[in-house]
Structure 1
Amino acid sequence: MRIKLSYITIILLWATTPLAIKWSGEGPGFLFGVTARMAIGTVCVLIVLALMRQRMAWHRKAWLTYIAIALQIYGSMLPVYWAAQFIPSGWISVIFGLTPLMTASLAAIFLGERSLTLGKLLAYGLGISGLVIMFGSALQLGDEAVLGIGAVLLSVFLQSASSVWIKRIAAKLPALSQVTGGLLLALPAYLLTWAIVDGHWPLLLTPTSLAAIIYLGVIATTLGFVLYFYLLTHLPATRVALITLVSPLLALMLGHSINDEPLTMKVIIGTLLILSALIMHIFFDRLTAVKPRPK
């Protein structure tokens, strides 16, 4: 029951996070938005850790796990925030729908999981086709939108690599400890990046961007990250990545209805191809598997 509830919560969080990311950077800038989010999130997880009287582990596997999570929190999130300046928020969720395909490829290489079957290869073809159409839509928005899609793809790769690395380390740490350790390593990197590249307190901090930053820091980071790594600890990496099956549609509808983001036929076709790839990724091999005859 806990795992199912965590799944539903993560789907809802991942559907609303892209729009909140876009709003958080409108005015203060994307670097301030993501740095403020991680600072708030770090304070929140430390408070929760203290209230639960949970101690951090500092052995070798724990350190490696924290580094792997920091790679995801910093290396994966930073490109997304940059890309949100140039592409509709719903596109971020759609492109992240490729995470299971990327994760399956890396899991086959590094974890020895059986994830490169005929169904998976066909799914990759559909996913790439959908991505090509999304690139075509981005060309209509300008070169920066194309670079934005490329940045989100980099983020997908880093998140998938981090997930597989965490599974390979297999430190079996509590989810809250994993998130806390990752944030403690990632936050200094964010602060240093903001200080070097920007370093100025924003002149414009609208109520919308402030609310988005607080939502992302308190809810999406504290609750979302803990639930995500809780699932990652108890389920295979590829199954956790399948959360992206539902969230893209919700994110597109939210972006279109709330933020007036364009929803063209190309975007719809590209999204459907990527979602079809995910469906094939899940069900093709099960449907084509030959069941042994009863003796």
Structure 2
Amino acid sequence: MPVQIAYLSVILIWATTPLAIQWSTEGAGFAFALFSRMLIGVIIGALVLAVFRIPFPTHAHARRVYAVGGASLFVGMALTYWASRHVHSGLISVMFGLSPLAAAVLAALWLGERSLTKKRLTGAVLGVGGLAVIFLQGGISGGWATVAGLLALVVAMICYTAGMVWIKRIGNDSPPLATTVGTVGAALPGFALVWWFAEGQVPMEVAPRALSAIVYLGVFGSVIGFAAYYHCIRHLEASRVALITLITPVLALLLGQALNGEHTTPRLWFGVMLILTGLVLHQWETFRPWFRSRRRQPM
């Protein structure tokens, strides 16, 4: 796959995933939509592993990675799908855009990394400030249900990020797709239990848009998007890959406004801009070489 197509694919998939999550729960229930998506993802991922003969490690170290990743995925996705009923779809992307800031704090605490420089701390403060503005916006315009949804997204983001940092602490030498299949497979029983206790039945009728969204998330969101992202990491400098986290939240908000009739206010955009500015400062060491190369290019 040409790297330009992979890069554009990641942006489009990540930007459309929040809206697809919201659409997938229409009439189907959030638990059924989540379980169905993950089941499709595991089946497709396992088929790809088999067809291309990609190894799937099952030793104790790999099982530990699958268990940690599965636990963080279970909590993160369950809360995200529940919250999608109460918040703008674009805010899901914004909240998960904060994951680099959370990862820096957790890496400093768990891995002993010197990840909290002055610029990164300033970026974290701006990110928290933007988050506070968004919470204030939710309390004003959406009531307590929106605030609860935003809080659930924050907890989901922290849990998902904690899982990634913990996996880094464990160390993981498995192929990326194998890790994905193992992680989702480990979380699948939990998703099945949530569906059983929350809804307990297969919907009699699923709207075409909801069904399409479930299939899209299972195939593109869980398999193709993951493969394209790692393809970009392998062939592009880190600064270009990091730009994805700045592009997708804005694009997701615009898509929600255009395709789902979601109302955005100046206060909400101000909070988003604070978060994105914080991300730029946090990743300044990554972006700086790219900015320098841009300046040196002839006009």
Q: Please give the TM-score of this superposition, normalised by the length of structure 2.
A: 0.88
List gaps (5 residues or longer) in structure 2. 289-299
| Identity in percent | 41
Judged with a 3 Å threshold, the aligned counterparts in structure 2 of structure 1 residues 142 and 221 are, in CA distance, closer, same or farther, namely: same
Q: 1: CA distance between counterparts of 2:219 and 2:287?
A: 39
Counting only pairs closer than 5 Å after superposition, residues 58-207 of structure 1 correspond to structure 2 as 58-139=58-139, 140-207=141-208
Q: Report if aligned partners of 1:90, 1:251 keep a CA contact under 8 Å in 2.
A: yes
**What is the DSSP-based 3-state SS (H/G/I as helix, E as strand, rest coil) of the residue aligned with 2:33?**
helix
Unaligned runs of 5+ in 1: 288-295
Q: How many residues align?
A: 287
Instruction: Quote the Cα distance in structure 1 between the aligned partners of 2:282 and 2:42.
Output: 35
Distance 1:24 1:5 in 2: 26
SS of alignment partner, residue 71 of structure 1 = helix
**Which residue of the partner structure matches residue 25 of structure 2?**
25
- RMSD, matched Cα: 2.7
* 1:280 aligned counterpart, secondary structure: helix
Instruction: Specify whether residues 84 and 186 from structure 1 end up closer, same or farther in structure 2 by C-alpha distance, changes over 3 A only.
Output: same
Report the alpha carbon displacement of residue 261 of structure 1 after superposing the two structures with TM.
Answer: 0.4
| Aligned 8 A contact 2:72 2:160 in 1 | yes
TM-score (norm 1): 0.89
CA deviations on 1:243-288 (whole Å, 9 max, x unpaired) are 422210110110011111011111110110000101111227987x
Q: For the residues of structure 1 that align with 2:2 and 2:113, how far apart are their CA atoms?
A: 25
Contact between 1:44 and 1:218, CA under 8 Å: does it hold in 2?
yes
Q: Distance in 2 between matches of 1:69 and 1:3?
A: 27
How far the C-alpha of 1:64 sits from its partner, in A, is: 1.4
Name the stretch that deviates more: 183-192 or 19-28: 183-192
Residue 9 (structure 1) shift: 3.0
Match of 1:225 in 2: 226
The answer as to whether partners of 2:239 and 2:287 remain within 8 angstroms in 1 is no
- Compute the displacement of 1:189 (Å): 1.3
Q: 1:284 to 1:167 in 2, by over 3 A?
A: closer
Worse-superposed segment, 6-15 or 88-97: 6-15
CA separation in 2, counterparts of 1:85 and 1:264?
A: 19
